[in-house]
Structure 1
């Protein structure tokens, strides 16, 4: 485990080391420590590279995608787990197929649809499709988590006369906190790292997100490797911070149901 941990951490550590070097330090060797840290590389990336704008654009896109997808996933997951309705298996199969279709397969018709709706070069062009892409996984994930809950608790709530919304809100959601945290983490990472949809549907620099901004930033700072790596750290760092915050709940969500 220590070996795998070192293999995982080493590239990021090298990235951090490079990001605080000057060009002269970099020419001395990749593993040579700098005389003093050059944090101005981050300032240059944040201001000159417009990563300050890209960061807030990513936040504006990520928050509604995660929140709306989780809310819809809770409701649709409840329906698939406990309710009976016509064509339930067919709808379930459609959701499963939708998860397997790559973005490249529908990006061209999606472009024309967004253009018809007048949503190109807007936050809506990035938020709406990513919600649609996230809901199938959220539905299947929450349905699977709900089916693992103790049936006695749900039966007791029904016998006490609780309605379906009340059971979902007061009984199931508190029990599903680890699973919901895990789902939020997955959706955050996927949405934050989404590249193709912003690349095709957004051309204005005002609306670009962090991964897309990194592409154009790389083109401008190809010869300035320390500033370029500082920009890469700014893209990766929020994901690491969010994971560290939700780490305990994430592990609980993955191991829920493994023990009684």
Structure 2
């Protein structure tokens, strides 16, 4: 085997190792969820009599039906607004001559460096002053703001890869910045928008800390917030806890599997153009 052949082989082996390390926790969780309720599993083993009813019990005990509706409402409030604001800001900072544009972009970059946990306390008092505690707006509005630094950075990076000749040709034909954005830049940004929407959905659906701090009513939290409440009440029942965790993770896994091609396309597009 030549040295040139060892490189691709080593890369494939490394990918296999990472894949196995990623799958093992899910297999362990799944096998645990099928054990008899109340038992204490000691390892990864397929039960002789799988208890599929554990998933129904976990769904009922965690009261997941209203929590799915709550999570969907929060996602519908966060993701579209974040996409619109991040796209407009990214386009303006990348393609338009905005006064102090570089300074504004540096401010967004600084937002990426701030630990999320350090903002919980000031956010709590600000939301309390607005009278929004224990409402879904207490999650929607802060999440939109918290996602802006990454969203603007992501979309600006995409718009910088668009050849300036396209905008110049549009301006020669009489199109202004808004028409050039709608008819040229926005259609080209679909892969970047799709991948950003997937990330925002995953982050919102899995939001845990903010849901616990801002919302007292468990039925107004996200699905991940339901896992915390489920663990608090039924933490000794590892089997039901595992079943509940799988039910909560299922929508995010499904979304990623369905849209993984769009996500990969956006990453490859940036790699080729960059």
| TM-score using structure 2 length | 0.88
Could you tell me how far 1:120 is from its partner in structure 2?
0.3
* Distance change >3 Å, CA 165–CA 14, structure 1 → 2: same
Could you tell me how far 1:252 is from its partner in structure 2?
0.9
Q: How do 1:99-248 and structure 2 match up within 5 A?
A: 99-248=112-261
* Distance change >3 Å, CA 37–CA 158, structure 1 → 2: farther
Could you tell me how far 1:227 is from its partner in structure 2?
1.0
Could you tell me how far apart the structure 1 residues matched to 2:160 and 2:148 are?
18
Could you tell me how far apart the structure 2 residues matched to 1:111 and 1:105 are?
11
Gaps of 5+ in 1: none
Could you tell me how far 1:164 is from its partner in structure 2?
2.0
Could you tell me how far 1:8 is from its partner in structure 2?
0.8
In structure 2, the partner of 1:256 is 269
Could you tell me how far 1:177 is from its partner in structure 2?
1.3
Tell me whether 1:74 sits opposite 2:87 in the alignment: yes
Could you tell me how far 1:132 is from its partner in structure 2?
0.4
| TM-score using structure 1 length | 0.93
Could you tell me how far 1:87 is from its partner in structure 2?
2.0
In structure 1, the partner of 2:17 is 3
Could you tell me how far apart the structure 2 residues matched to 1:79 and 1:251 are?
25
Could you tell me how far 1:154 is from its partner in structure 2?
2.2
Q: Is the 8 A contact 1:99 1:133 kept in 2?
A: no
Could you tell me how far apart the structure 1 residues matched to 2:272 and 2:124 are?
47
SS in 2 for 1:259: helix
Could you tell me how far 1:28 is from its partner in structure 2?
6.9
Could you tell me how far apart the structure 1 residues matched to 2:136 and 2:28 are?
34
* Distance change >3 Å, CA 58–CA 83, structure 1 → 2: same
Match of 1:21 among 24, 27, 35: 35
